[in-house]
Every structure is written in C-alpha cells, then in structure tokens.
Structure 1
Amino acid sequence: MDDNPGSDGKVRTTIVVAIAVFIAWNAPYAWYWRAALVLAITFLFGIVYPAILLALARRKQRG
C-alpha cells in the first residue's frame, strides 16, 4: 500500500479548476493568456498538492 493519501485515484479537479479559473479571470491578460494560465495552474497544482499530501503523511507516520 502506498503511503501517499493522494494516490487513491480520486480526481479532485473541481476545486483545482475553480481556483485556477478564479485566478485567471482576475488576471490582467488577454483571453488566450487566461486560458493558458488556467492550464498552467491546474498542472502545477496537480504536481504540488500530491507532494504536500505525501510529506504530511510521512511526517504523521514518523511522529
């Protein structure tokens, strides 16, 4: 069993996309840069969020 609680296969896209759209909507760029910003934020959050969950799980397991 993997120690990462984010590795259960659940897709948590609703919150991720909502945050990305909110940030991009308020960005002072043209619409095509806003679309790219939504994709970039979603991609980065998809990498960072599981890493944070794994670090928290390891910390909890150690101590």
Structure 2
Amino acid sequence: MGSNQIPKASAEARLVEFLRENLSYAEKLEEAYLHVKAGERIEDVIKIFPECAEDLRRKTQSLAS
C-alpha cells in the first residue's frame, strides 16, 4: 500500500461519520434502505444508522409482504 492510501476500514469509518453528520433523517433512511436492498443484513445497516432502525424495519417488512 502506498503512503497516501487510506486503509479500507478507516475510509469506511470516516464515510459513516460523514453520513451521520450531514444527512437529514429522510436521506439516512433512504441510504440505509439502499444498503439493505443491495443485500446487506438489516442488523449491520442498523449499526450504521441506529436512529432509522424502527422505520427501516417497517419499510423492509412492508415490501417483503
């Protein structure tokens, strides 16, 4: 790895922090939903967007039924 490259885990952590600080609730919920739709486990997505947990579960359950 070159000296100017950021380790993947560090880059992801910084992205998560940026998203938490700069997105509105609706944007966070939509971003979280897109992660689930892309195949990520809902439990993992909720760790990133905990404030969206209830609405995210509701949204994914309504689409599954």
What is the TM-score with the length of structure 2 in the denominator? 0.30
Structure of higher RCO (CA pairs closer than 8 Å, 6+ residues apart): 1
What is the TM-score with the length of structure 1 in the denominator? 0.31
Higher Cα Rg: structure 1 or 2? 1
